[in-house]
Amino acid sequence: MAGDRALVLGGGGVAGIAWQNGVLVGLGDAGVEVADAELLIGTSAGANVAAQFASGLSREELFRRQIDPRVQSRELVPPGNPLADLAPVWAAIGAESGGDPLEERRRVGAVALATRTVPEAARRAVVETRLPAHEWPNRRLLVIAVNAESGQPRVFDRDSGASLVDAVAASSAVPGVWPTVTINGAHYTDGGVRSTTNADYAADCARVLIIAPMPGPPVDQEIADLTARGIRVELITPDEATQTAFGDNPLDTATRIPAAEAGRAQGKSEADRIAAFWG
């Protein structure tokens, strides 16, 4: 196998970024350093977190950035609760796609391309401020996005010809909320359009830890498929305190501090279980 351990970080809005930071820091507080995995896979919020923890910045400084109002004031906040508003749109697309995942992704991509949001450069600037380092790390990091025209997934890494900031922005381009990201003439939307975790890209590892702010049946299927290949898998999902911190709008920046703090507490509480798995 290409690497013994993979850390998979999933999508979940700004609340998911803060919570996953908290979980990783809380695990580290208890002596369990899972961000040292041979492979990091990030999707949407998780792409931001993966890039943050691959930057070389200390755990404590990464956590401080999540709760520092000066850092968070640079975020853009979409009006209302767009994920809730768009839920009927995604449900209709799913029904109209006849069970064809590629067709469903194409239709979602079409919505992403047609929706007028903030300028692409303004959104990129937000992602740029989130990342302590703007160069790809000297380690294996995969960032997942979806081509908005073709519906095909795209895996960005240091050899893909895309900058780290552009790759993370593409993976985080929530369709209907944020603009698609242009890379080498192609337009990309959120990697969560394919899967909130895309854990199947860790199929060449022996152990896979998935941290999923938004779990569900697709994540369960990925775990089942990995397990069927003889891969050991553990999953961390939001506990009750985290769900309260998330509220009903994970894109609301007001969720950041409570989500980060809930994540740190949960990381500490999960440490014994994960230590036994991680080694």
Active-site annotation, residues: 44, 190
Q: Are 65 and 256 in contact (CB under 8 A)?
A: no
Q: How far apart are CA 166 and CA 236, in angstroms?
A: 28
Q: How far apart are CA 14 and CA 25, in angstroms?
A: 17
DSSP letter (8 states) at residue 155: E
Q: How far apart are CA 122 and CA 242, in angstroms?
A: 29
CA distances from 156 to 75, 104, 106, 131, 183 (A): 24, 22, 19, 16, 11
Q: In sequence order, what are the residues at sequence separation of 6 or more whose Cβ sits closer than 8 angstroms to the Cβ of residue 54? A: 35, 40, 133, 137, 139, 141
Q: How far apart are CA 157 and CA 167, in angstroms?
A: 8
Phi-psi group of 237: left, alpha or beta (phi > 0 → left; psi -120 to 50 → alpha; rest → beta): beta
Phi-psi group of 249: left, alpha or beta (phi > 0 → left; psi -120 to 50 → alpha; rest → beta): beta
Q: How far apart are CA 202 and CA 5, in angstroms?
A: 9
